Amino acid sequence: MVKASFHDIPNNTAATWWTDPGLRKNVYHCLGCCLCVFYLGYDQSLLTGLQALPQWNAFFGSPSGNKLGLIAASIFLPSIMTAFIGDFIAYRYGRRYAIWIGSILIVIGALVNALAVNLGMFIGGRIILGSGGALTKVGAPSLLQELAHPRLRPSLAGLYYGFYYTGSLTSATLCIAGLYIKGNWGWRFPALVQVLGPSAVLFITATAPESPRFLVKMGNNEQAMAVLTRYHANGAEGDPLVQWEYQEIVTALHEEELRPKTSYMDFFKTRGNRLRLAAVVSLAFGTNWVGNGLVSYYLSPVLRSVGVTRPVEITGINAGLAFWNLCVAVTAGLNIDRFGRRPLAFVSIGGMFVSYAIVMATSGTFAQTHNSSAGLAAIPFLFLFYGFYTLFWTPVPYPYSAEILPYALRSKGLAIFTSVQNLGNTFNQFVNPIALKAIAWRYYVVYLGVLAVYFVIALVLYRESKGMTLEEISILYDYPLKGGRQQAREALDRQIAADTEQKTVDTKRDVEHLEHA
């Protein structure tokens, strides 16, 4: 008989995580994984804020066009390759090591950035930042997905990229303060504070356990069971939910072990894996190719194009946008299993299209008439655009990419996600300031076309995974779109039953052998 839901299985935890000691520790360590994207949100808002700071512009000669594009793209360039190093570390040595090494590199990069004496050193610091960030973005989503209690996993995973905006808001606020700090410390101070995010990650994850799935994969089954028992059942041995989780993990990994050694070519060997790869790649490109990249890294020139030129106004709008995004990201992330992935995708992409079209219209009107009212009218629709963006593109892509991949391909898939994301972002960030300078508001029409394409992609490719466990979701793409959820659940239950029956037969045979001996 197929179970209705893991919620139906008894578990030695409180109904609310904050009243349960084991779940509090579980949430604490998962939030440490979430902080891994603090650096990227901080950097995005920092670069926008720095462009508005007279001290930074004076020190580096007000970079624009190609030079500004190189500065923005430099953080993404190394990630195209270092993401695959992250996969090697996470798969061979554990998820935590990828997080730790990456966080140390981010700290080093932030220090180089803040203490830069010329533009080359500033760009070099950003390259180190990007190299470390790619490692953490492979290790952190894997550890979060594999460590979180199944009841909390969707919300915690949904919050993962929302922490991007904690960095963004922190940086935007400090850039406002930078306007009132004399000399070069007006921009060095906000750049230096970037070390706080990766430092917090190192502190929190220093006591975090390794992924139970990684431990089982490495043959440390007793240690894996101990981790599940401690964090998912407050140490209650024999807890039904923990026993069921452990059996699901063992069965899923056993099924994977029966196949040949995994490689990146496995993504092309089956229809299910090809669909997974298509979903991962489309989500990776979409995170920065749906118009948000233009607004996030180049908010200053975008605002100047609609008549907002004062530094205090630009930095203030930057901070307000960061706070707005953080509120939307937390709300969407905590309710991701209530709303569902597909509905969020449709509302998000549709709302972005309408908002962006209005921004384009108001920007065009201002460019032709210099009517300040038309220019200012674009600002609330920039907020609406980013609100719709944050509904789906912040809480869904990373956790969804991690959960639809089987364990053996999970870190490889996240390496592909990170590499493709940064490849697209590098091109995007290099081209955006050039195109914006050349054709101004007309450039927006490109992203309207991209949004229309993504609506179709979401309709035909993205599967709904709410209410399912990690092991169930990991085989979801092996079944048809219609009825695939139920078929995935039934298939995993059959595997567990067969595995349990085989173990019973093996145990009986061993006992009989001992009796005869």
Q: What is the pTM of this model?
A: 0.79
14: its two tokens: 């409180």
- Using pLDDT thresholds of 50, 70 and 90, give the confidence band for residue 455: very high
Query: For the residues of 137-192, what is the DSSP string, one character each?
Result: HHHHHHHHHHHS-TTTHHHHHHHTGGGHHHHHHHHHHHHHHHTTS-TTHHHHHHHH
CATH number of 16-478: 1.20.1250.20
* Cα–Cα distance measured from residue 362 to residue 356, given in angstroms and rounded to the nearest whole number: 10
User: Residue 501 pLDDT > 70, yes or no?
Assistant: no
- Using pLDDT thresholds of 50, 70 and 90, give the confidence band for residue 2: very low
User: Residue 274 pLDDT > 90, yes or no?
Assistant: yes
Which single residue is written with the structure tokens 């233009």? 294
505: its two tokens: 């037969």
Q: Is 502 in a helix, a strand, or coil?
A: helix
Which single residue is written with the structure tokens 């992935």? 341
Give the other-Cβ count within 10 Å of 389's Cβ.
26
pLDDT at 509: 60
The residue among 243, 261, 260 whose CA lies nearest residue 251 is 243
Average pLDDT, the chain: 85
Which single residue is written with the structure tokens 């303060």? 177
Which single residue is written with the structure tokens 């905006």? 165
Question: How many Cα neighbours within 13 Å face the side chain of 376?
Answer: 4
The residue among 384, 374, 320, 394 whose CA lies nearest residue 351 is 384
Q: By mean pLDDT, which of 36-50, 128-142, 236-250, 476-490 is the weakest?
A: 476-490
Q: Which amino acid is it at 121? A: M
* pLDDT tens, position by position, 391-433: 999 899 988 998 899 888 888 999 999 889 888 877 776 777 6
* Angle, alpha carbons 257-262-265 (nearest 5°): 150
Residue 467 DSSP code: T
Contact 494, 477 (CB under 8 A): no
Q: Which residue has the higher pLDDT, 470 or 219?
A: 219
* CB within 8 Å of 259: residues ≥ 6 apart: 408
